[in-house]
Structure 1
Amino acid sequence: MRLKKILNNNAVLVIDNQQEKVAIGTGIAFGKRKNDRINPSKVEQLFEMKENEKLQQLLNRIPEEHFIISEEIISYAEDYLGSKLSEHIHIALTDHVSFAIERIEDGIHLQNKLLNEIKILYRNEFEIGLWAVRHIREKLNIDVPIDEAAHIALHVHTMKLQGGDYQQTIKHTAIVREMIQLFLEKLDMNISEDDLSYQRLVTHLHFALSRVSHYQLHEMDEEMLGMIQQKFSDSYQVTRTVTSCITEKYDIAFPSSELGYITIHIQRLKKD
């Protein structure tokens, strides 16, 4: 393993088995020059990176400490999930974490309006986000709000293999939140985000949107659907009203069977 280029004191480009890779390790570049051998025992992470130029540009404009913290978060996330994340996490999360730290140090705190939905839908990723928030607090002695855990959770989720597109995930989660607000408004209800029925509804709407987006129908027997429409007519009408609003606004069509399942959750919400 030979050094090709120094990115910073803790990250270098190397040639390993005739492939260009990024090697990360504390002080790995100290006293090194091009073509020097890199001791494998110094390497904490080694990965192929198609976006080496983007990574170098990022490392040139952020404090090295921010990069180290981000890499520690990535390592924790991969250990926690038991799987590797997309290589792009090294750019996306590092850029986000560095910018977030700068904002916080300038006294700018951005509220994450999707906090409760992210906490429910992406539990493992949110736990990683909570660890990251504590880690940044300990390393830099700054007050990092819990909202930041939700931002980090989304980055981790979308960097999982087949995790999805970041912007699409935000949009998807925002639609779930909008539907919940519409349901509570139509039902004239207030309910705690910690309530089990609330969490079940959030989770069901998340999977309902995912099924509709991927044209995966959640079938329901016609007789059963008719019974639900008749027995829970008020809840069914509320469901139709809310889903019609979403269809009109986002061009998302919910099949009748999906309306039946959502109605059951609405009925349960009303009873609890």
Structure 2
Amino acid sequence: MKVKKILNNNVAIINKGGHDSIIYSSGISFKKSVGQHISEDEIEKTYVLDSKDRLEHLSYLLASSDQKTIELINKLVEYGENFLDKKANDYLYLALLDHITFAWKRGQKNQFIRSPLTWEVKKFYPDYYKIGIYAVQKMRECYKIDFPDDEAVSIALHFVNIQEDKSHLDENIDDIAVLKNILNIIQFQYATTFDESSMNYMRLVTHLQYFIERLRRKKLYGDNDVTLYETVIKLYPKAYKTVEKIENYIDKKFHQRLSKDEYTYLMIHINRVTERKDREK
């Protein structure tokens, strides 16, 4: 293998088998020159990307990053691979380097972003969220900045990319958005905010997760208990109006209408999670 280009003291581009790859080798700029041979045992990390654009983007980021940031990224990916017992693709290095470099710049200005998906990511991806929390702890140690736990959410979602089935990943992320939109419809209709630590909220979210899964499989519940449906409408008319709004959203998103049984269960869960606050008004 020959060194094709030196990016900084520790990073270079090599040509291996007619293809360009990026390597990390401590002090390579002092040890090698362009055109010189470099062996595998001299390389600490090789980044192989599947497109020229990604290779150029990662090259730029690595060239402008300091050693502690690159070492942090390598450490986080290694930790995530061991924790999940899965091999990460090298695109993860690019995504994390991009994200953490920007987070560091924001942190220096005391500018932090609050994530609206914290609870949902904890629920859908608990293991990935734990990796995110680990990453935030290491970021605090590395940069001496008190990053909020919200940073863990974005990092967790980057690690979700380790999943081999990208279509499944995209679907899960889309499901989080659908869940969030349904919760927003309920909160808007009741002019309230949820107590996310309450048991009724957790039950509602769990019901909605299975509800979204049924929508995906096009296997909604039927019209098996019309009497209960009519009774619940009379008991909880506001919840019924709210489910109508949800159905309008679902129809646009999934092109499906809701059965009477789906209406019934949604009305019951919505009433439970909003009942106390509604009485207080």
Are 2:140 and 1:137 aligned? Answer: yes
In structure 2, distance between residues paired with 1:182 and 1:171: 17
**How far did 1:74 drift?**
2.1
Contact 1:120/1:203 (<8 A) preserved: no
Alignment map for 1:60-209 (pairs within 5 Å) = 60-158=63-161, 160-163=163-166, 173-184=176-187, 186=189, 191-206=194-209, 208-209=211-212
Cα deviation for residue 209 of structure 1 reads 4.2
Q: CA RMSD in A?
A: 3.7
Distance 1:139 1:87 in 2: 22
Q: Which of 4-13 and 107-116 deviates more? A: 4-13
- Distance change >3 Å, CA 270–CA 105, structure 1 → 2: closer
Instruction: Give yes or no for contact 2:163–2:169 (8 Å, CA) kept in 1.
Output: no
Give the TM-score, by structure 2 length.
0.75
Q: CA deviation at 1:100?
A: 0.6
Q: What's the secondary structure of 1:232's corresponding residue?
A: helix
Number of aligned residue pairs: give it.
Answer: 268
Q: What amino acid is the match of 1:99?
A: F
Amino-acid identity (%): 25
User: Structure 1 residues 163, 227: closer, same or farther in 2, change over 3 A?
Assistant: farther
Larger Rg: 2
Q: Which amino acid aligns with 2:257?
A: P
TM-score (norm. length: structure 1): 0.77
| Counterpart-to-counterpart distance in 1, 2:14 and 2:86 | 24
Q: Distance in 1 between matches of 2:22 and 2:246?
A: 48
Superposed CA offset, 1:238-266 (max 9, x none): 55234145348x64444324545545644
SS in 1 for 2:110: coil
Which runs of no fewer than 5 residues in structure 1 stay unpaired?
Answer: none
**8 Å CA contact retained: 1:21, 1:47:** yes
Aligned to 1:14: 14
